[in-house]
Structure 1
């Protein structure tokens, strides 16, 4: 069952210092719904930033986070070993699940070892 598969703790950015390191590198790419900041690392790890500016409603922010987490989990083994922080833009609030996944897959494709 896919909902039982979790993203391990070792695959997540956990501390503010880790996020700060990624943001201070100033390396990023994006599209109309998301921006991905990244730095080289020993493995692919994910951090997310979905602020209240994106949506006042927690349910919308959590829906966006679920899609980010799931697309990363499915692609993690094919991604270049980097620390990634995905920042959602306010346009993501109005996008449905299919569009969110499509835009995230476009971004992950840029970092794939074997597309």
Structure 2
């Protein structure tokens, strides 16, 4: 499967956009992440991320998680419905092996379609 290119239009930005997703109160949990989502008026999915210092104090670990989230979203973007999605990392994600985190992300995207 080839990853789609992430464009500026596929990035959720701004406090108002994040708040709209959180107010919708639709969420799914995976082992290492919590996915908040809301229907979007656009014709494609958009991604927002929240990987705080509470997850890990080291920025290199937080940035690795962000890269993994972003890349897995690129792979799943074509199959996702029109959603605005905010992914929150759980502290367990920082301690988990990269392969497990990657598998968890790839397994979680199809559950948002349901």
Q: Give the whole-Å Cα distance in 2 for the aligned partners of 1:57 and 1:21.
A: 29
* DSSP 3-state at the match of 1:80: coil
Moved more, 98-107 or 67-76: 98-107
Q: Deviations over 1:82-114 (max 9, x none)?
A: 00000000000011221111111111011248x
Q: Give the whole-Å Cα distance in 2 for the aligned partners of 1:77 and 1:10.
A: 14
Q: Let me know the Cα RMSD of the aligned residues.
A: 1.7
* DSSP 3-state at the match of 1:52: coil
Task: Tell me the matched-pair count.
Answer: 111
Q: CA deviation at 1:6?
A: 4.3
Q: Deviations over 1:30-71 (max 9, x none)?
A: 122000000001220000000000000000000000000000
Q: Give the whole-Å Cα distance in 2 for the aligned partners of 1:6 and 1:60.
A: 23
Q: Deviations over 1:1-53 (max 9, x none)?
A: x8xx7411000001111001101111101122000000001220000000000
* DSSP 3-state at the match of 2:88: strand
State the partner residue of 2:63: 62
State the partner residue of 1:52: 53
Q: Which runs of 5+ in 2 are unaligned?
A: none
Q: Which runs of 5+ in 1 are unaligned?
A: none
Alignment of 1:1-115 (within 5 A): 6-41=5-40, 42=42, 43-112=44-113
Q: 1:26 to 1:112 in 2, by over 3 A?
A: closer
Moved more, 90-99 or 5-14: 5-14
When the two structures are superposed, what TM-score results if normalisation uses the length of structure 2?
A: 0.90
